[in-house]
Amino acid sequence: MEEMLENPMLQPENYLEGYNESISKLRNQPEVIAFDKFCYEVFEATEVGKKFLEFAKERFIIHSQITRGNADYPTDCIWQEGFRDAYRMIIQSVMSHQQRIKAGA
């Protein structure tokens, strides 16, 4: 009898493969983990840090710092997005470290 070949189109998707690759890459980058932990300790583990992050979200992420109709409006939009992104990166670092704590890593 003829041996059946596996059809790659019928194989189940391994959804955890991408996560496992990301985890193994992070293990080779301790500076990323150290930064996440630092952000967590400064902005989540202390009441002052939590309050600062609340103010930053309210003032810099949610509300716009630019004026419509300004001659430099397109340039200001790009600048504002970059400015917001710095705060988003801090928030993401805090969340990443919280996930590591929950995972027991």
Higher pLDDT, 36 or 3: 36
pLDDT one-digit tens code per residue, 13-30: 877 887 777 767 766 778
Average pLDDT over residues 66-95: 89
* Local confidence band at 37 (pLDDT 50, 70, 90 cut-offs): very high
Tell me, what's the pLDDT at 64? 80
Tell me, what's the pLDDT at 19? 73
Helix (H) / strand (E) containing 83: helix 73-103
Closest CA to 32 of 89, 101, 104: 89
User: 56 vs 38, 82, 88, CA distance in Å?
Assistant: 18, 14, 10
pTM of the model as a whole: 0.66
First to last CA, the chain: 50
* Local confidence band at 1 (pLDDT 50, 70, 90 cut-offs): low
pLDDT mean across residues, the chain: 85
